[in-house]
Structures are given as structure tokens and as C-alpha cells.
Amino acid sequence: MVDTQISNRDIREPNVIQVMKIIPRDRFVLEKHRALAFSDQALPIGENQTISQPYVVAFMTQALKLKPSDKVLEVGTGSGYQTAVLASIAKSVYTIEVIQPLLDRAWSVLSSLNFSNIHIKCSDGRLGWKEHAPFDKIIVTAASEDIPPSLLDQLADNGKMIIPIGQQHWSQDLVLISRQGKRIIKEKLLPVRFVPLVKETPKKHKKR
């Protein structure tokens, strides 16, 4: 997967390549899609959501220029695969998912891989995680029409955020946002297609 989809495209950051070789993507996909776990595509993970294409995970991680000392906020845990990639490079990852059953599944896989620097919350990620702000890096893995103001507020000075921006269900652009004091710099990097960042309240487990 890494040789044919990551290293031979524009992913050059050695720590990203290294980590993508180690994290077992097959553990994060549904059993019925396991044969496709290392293919060049997004895959359904239930609840109408998807695990991102490996290349997009690598591209977003590389764009953030992660350092071992970074505290990262991730919005849209989904399968937990991107979370694992981030947590293998950064100091800590705070990840928020709005659909509880997805978060439960992601957490069981991440725990089985012995991560101890990941913190999870079932909530609307557009509001960020104020108690742990500011974050050196913020990654949003669902498409938004605008930059959620709370996320921008919670981005540290000299911090970077990557977020797909655009009309939902149509193509969006991955936008890299850098904060330098009061200056906010925005750069469009790559056309992408993500599921929408929802504005609903968290969907909890139904009691049976």
C-alpha cells in the first residue's frame, strides 16, 4: 500500500511513510471489507460514514508537519485509523466523534493496539475541546462550508489546521490554515470528497 499509493506520489515526510507502514489499516475496516483494506480507496465503516483513502490520510498528516511535542485535535474519529497515524507521531491526540457506536468501535481497536496518548469524546466537534485548548494542530476529517469559529479560536499561535471546505456532497478543497499571531493564512491544497460535518447533537446508543 505504502509503496504504490504513498511513496510514489507526493508523500515525502519520512515519519509519515514509516507510520503508514506500521499501522494495520485492516484492523480499522469492517470484517466484510478486509480484503480491500489496503486498496486505494475510502471504504464504508457503517452509519453512512467512511474510512478515508490511505493517500488522503498521508497527505493531511504530512501537511500538518507534525512534531513529537504536538497536541492535536481531530474532529471526526470515524474508524480511528487517522487517529492512530496522528498518535504515532504527536505527543497526544484529542479526538471527537458525533456517532457513539463508531467511537466505541474505534476505541476498542485503538486500545487493542496499546495507544495511551489518545483521548476521546462523543460530541459535536465543531465546538472543539475547550478544556484542552490551545492545540498545535487541528485536523477535521468531514467537510464543512466554513471554518468553525471555535476551532480557529482553539488553534495555538504558529499552529496549523487542515479541513475540507466546500459544498457538501460536491467536491471540496483541503484547506491548510496557519496562525501567525493575529494573521491567519489559508492555502488550498487538494480537491477532495468527504462526508459532511454534521450540525446535529451526538447520536448515542439506543437502549435495548
Contact residues for ligand SAH (CB under 6 A)?
A: 49-52, 75-76, 78-79, 81-82, 96-99, 102, 124-126, 141-142, 195, 197-198
Catalytic residue ranges: 52
CB of 179 to ligand SAH, least distance (A): 21
**Which residue, judged by CB position, is nearest to ligand SAH in the bound state?**
78
Counting Cα atoms < 13 Å in the Cβ hemisphere of 79 gives: 27
Cα distances from 87 to residues 140, 171, 182, in angstroms, run 15, 28, 28
Residue 78 or 159: which CB sits closer to ligand SAH?
78
Q: How far apart are CA 158 and CA 136, in angstroms?
A: 7
Residue number, 52 or 92, with CB nearest to ligand SAH:
52
Question: Which residues are CB-contacts of 47 (< 8 A; sequence separation ≥ 6)?
Answer: 99, 101, 102, 203
Output 19 or 157, the one with its CB closest to ligand SAH: 19
At closest approach, how far in Å is the CB of 61 from ligand SAH?
Answer: 11
